[in-house]
Structure formats: C-alpha cells, structure tokens
Amino acid sequence: MWTKRKIFQTTISLKNDTIAAISTPLLSGAIGIIRLSGPDTLSISEKILSKNSIPLTKDKISQSPRSAIYCDLGYPIPIDKIIYTYFKSPFSYTGEEMAEFSLHGNPILLREALELLFKEGARPAERGEFTKRAYLNGKVDLTQAEAIAQMIRARSRFELELAQKNNFGEIHRLTSKLRSELINLKSECEAEIDFSTEDLTFESLSERVERIKNVISLCKTTLQRSDRAESLIESTKIVIYGEPNTGKSSLMNLLLGKDRAIVSDTPGTTRDFLSEEIQISGIPIKLVDTAGIRSTDDTVEKLGIEKSKSEYDSANIKIIVIDASNYKDSLNFIKTHFKDFKNSIILANKIDMVSSDWDQKEFNKILDNQERSYFEISCKYKDGIEEFINYLYERINRTENPENLILLEARNKYHFGKILISLETTLHLIDNNSPAEIYVNEIDEALVSIGLINGKIDTEEILGRVFSKFCVGK
C-alpha cells in the first residue's frame, strides 16, 4: 500500500457577515468608492437605493450584475447621485456577493454614505479584509494577495513592474514548479518504500540526487534574484564627486530639474553631502552631491569631506566632475585619486571655457587601466548633457531588467530558506546511506514550506500579518 501523509491543511474559516469600507483615499476628488461584500449585499443595497424616488429592489438590482446603475443613494432622503455596480457571487473581487458605490469624492460625504451601510447591518471591514476574503474564496493565492499590497505601495515604476509580475502569477508558477518536482520525488521514494519487494525498476540514486540538486539550484537562484531586486528598490545610489567649484552642484540641479543645491563661484559652498530621491527609467535613484575634495584646516569642512568619501565608496554609480577650465588642478586631482576611479564616469565640465593646454590624452594615459567612461560637458550651456544622460539611462537599464528579478516578501524568503535546509539535509542523509523512509520526511518538510508560501497551508497568524499591510478598503 501507499504510505499516506497529510501535507496540506486549512485552518481558517470565512466569516459569514457583510463588510463595508471606503476604498479610495480620503481626499477631495472627482470620485470616491465604497465597497460592500457579503451575503447581505443585496438586502442592504435595496434599503438605501432609489431611482426617481422609487426604491430599487433586490430583483431589479440582480437583473443587471456588473452593470452600472445611475441612482440616488439614501432613501427616502438622498445624499448623492451615484453609480452603483452589483457583482454576483462568485464573479466579484472577493468571490462573494459584492457591490461598489461610486460617489462624488468628498470625504464627509463618503463617511456619511458609509454610516448608511453600517446602519443597515454591514460592519466596518478590517485591514485587507476584502483581499483576505478573495484569498479564502480561492480568487487569488497568498502570493497574489501579497502582490496586490506590493502594487499599492510601490514607490517606483521598477517596483511596480515586479509587483505586477507577482500579481499575474510569477511566484505561483515558481512554487507550482517546485511542488511538482518535489511531489514527483516523494512519489518515487514512496513507491520504492512500499514496493521494495516487487520486481519493479526505480530511478537510480544518482538520478534522484541530481533532481534534488536542481531544485536546490532553483531556490538559490530565486533568493539571489530577490536580494538584487531589494537592493534596487532601496534605491541605486549615484554620487557626484570631485574638487570644489567644478560644477557638481550645477550637475545635480540639472539632473533633478530644479535648484536643489546652492551654486556659487566660491569654492567649498557645499560643506556636507546633499541627497534627493528621483526616478530614472522607473528605477528609484538616490542622487548625492558631495562636498568638494581638497586639503583644508577647517574642522567642519573636513567632516563634510569624510562623509563625502564615505558616500562615494558606497555608490552604485560614481560620477567624477573635473574642471576643463583648469587643466593643471584637474590633472593633479586625477593623478592623486585615479585608483578610486574604476567603473566611474568622468565628466569634464566647463568645456565652454576649456583651458588652452587641455590634453585629454594625458588623462587617458593615467587612466589607461581603469574601466571608466569620459564625457565633456557644459552645465552652463547644457552642451554634452543629453549624450551623458542617455548613457546614464543606458547604464542603469543595461544592469537592471525586472524580467530577471523577483520580489519576495520576508516570509517567502524565510520559507525558501527552509526548503533549502530540508533538501540539503536530504542530500546529507543520502550521502550517509540513510534509507528512503528517513529522508522522505525532509521532502515532506520542503513541501510544507512551499504550501506556506502560496497559502496551501495557512494559519491565522500568517494571514493576519499578510493582510495587516493593506488599507481598510482593500
């Protein structure tokens, strides 16, 4: 006989009541939306909706699911003219009977309308409860529910694209593939255990080990892709570095499209680093303008220079600005610091005032073994700026493609780690000639971890953490 082990179980039951909440931000706007979901959706709706002073009945509403009904909200005294949409179960966001009320977007009006729903028997929704019900009703799995929250709170186009991938099943497909591989492994092991005395042929141990190693490799790659995505979401840092009065602050203002840094002919105007958050090609960028690097006895300026060097060392993209109008000082600066310029972008600014003895070949000799890019620009007249910015966009995009990355919540990363531990333990047991009866339990543990990722196994605590990140109306 086959050995039966219980791998998945569900411990959460669905509350059989009707919830309501405002689903749009509580700000003045053209439209505000209230959601209502649960078994009493129709009975509550018919008590507060009318058209031409005639109440809308359940039968009338249910005849036109997913159709917009222009009507009055509030009966017998209306408070607004609205668009009402009824969604029949299971063809709704939550999978339940559900309705949306589209009002004029005044926060006072929205609260008043919500009170009407509460008065007729709805209760206030908890944070994320609409999406929680969608999950419990099988409309989305847990990773897709998390993706909805990720989409809502995304701060950049880059982060949004990663969340969209998850919403359309990226993690679901990945975990389904892992689960299928492990189920096949488990089945082979169980067959070997239960039919060891039969004249049957099973896969070799080396083939089994190779299959386990392939799953381990997939898990490790997934975690690496996630770590890279996280580092980019936290923002790529671009640091502008160089001597005083080379035009670093002018360059920062150009990239920002506003006057953020003070620009002056007096050297040492920036005595500390300045930073601003921007987006380039949808990727969040932390742009940093640093204090001019020079020898000084000024204690405050020294501290600023130390901080600037620290920012430069931690930058993803390093921009060195030199002064084309002062060949001697620029050459000395390059000679002194050239070892720090690997993978940097060197900008010769003030090319409109270029020094008569300017010799780019001399720079090339010094930097011959350094991987770097070189541009001549004028921040004042914007000469060469377009070419430089296009290169900057290309460099960022060349490095970061959302298609190669994945966005994992902390709990998912934890469970992928647990899968790795279980499978590496499986390999260790096989290496020590343990029987399949022993190491199949580790495969079971890996399957449990996969179930916890996509919600095939759930607990109240896990769901509470996931859906607490949502706003109330979601």
> Residue range 270-298: average pLDDT?
79
Residue 468 lies in a domain: no
Kindly report the CATH number assigned to the domain that includes residue 290: 3.40.50.300
pLDDT in tens, 210-223: 999 999 999 999 99
119 and 174 both lie in a single domain:
no
Provide the pLDDT for residue 1: 30
Average pLDDT, rounded, for the chain: 86
Kindly report the CATH number assigned to the domain that includes residue 128: 3.30.1360.120
Domain end, chosen from 364, 387, 403, is at 403
Cβ-in-10-Å burial (0-12, 13-18, 19+) of 70 comes to exposed
285 and 180 both lie in a single domain:
no
**DSSP characters for 283-309?**
EEEEEEE-PPP-----HHHHHHHHHHH
281 and 371 both lie in a single domain:
yes
Q: By the 8 A CB rule, do 456 and 118 touch?
A: no
Task: Give the Cα separation of 7 and 473 in Å (integer).
Answer: 34
Indicate the pLDDT class of residue 177, thresholds 50, 70 and 90: very high
206 and 259 both lie in a single domain:
no
Domain of residue 440 covers 165-231+409-454
Residue 466 lies in a domain: no
pLDDT in tens, 95-134: 999 999 999 999 999 999 999 999 999 999 999 999 999 9
Q: By the 8 A CB rule, do 186 and 440 touch?
A: yes
Residue 78 lies in a domain: yes
284 and 359 both lie in a single domain:
yes
Domain count, the chain: 3
Taking Cα atoms as reference points, which of 375, 366, 356 lies closest to residue 331? 366
Residue 461 lies in a domain: no
pLDDT in tens, 30-78: 999 999 999 999 999 999 999 999 999 999 999 999 999 999 999 999 9
Name the residue with higher pLDDT: 366 or 217: 217
- Does pLDDT of 18 surpass 80? yes
Taking Cα atoms as reference points, which of 145, 127, 126 lies closest to residue 137? 145
- CA–chain centroid gap for 7, Å, is 31
Kindly report the CATH number assigned to the domain that includes residue 225: 1.20.120.430
- Does pLDDT of 22 surpass 90? yes
Indicate the pLDDT class of residue 2, thresholds 50, 70 and 90: very low
Residue 216 lies in a domain: yes
pTM greater than 0.75: no
376 and 413 both lie in a single domain:
no
Q: By the 8 A CB rule, do 227 and 304 touch?
A: no
Residue 276 lies in a domain: yes
As a residue count, the chain comes to: 474
**DSSP characters for 426-467?**
HHHHHHTT--HHHHHHHHHHHHHHHHHHHTSS--HHHHHHHH
338 and 249 both lie in a single domain:
yes
Domain end, chosen from 141, 156, 184, is at 141
24 and 113 both lie in a single domain:
yes
Pairing of strands 80-87, 98-105: antiparallel
241 and 367 both lie in a single domain:
yes
246 and 350 both lie in a single domain:
yes
216 and 129 both lie in a single domain:
no
Contacts of 289 (CB under 8 A, 6+ apart): 240, 248, 249, 251, 252, 260, 261, 270, 273, 274, 275
Residue 245 lies in a domain: yes
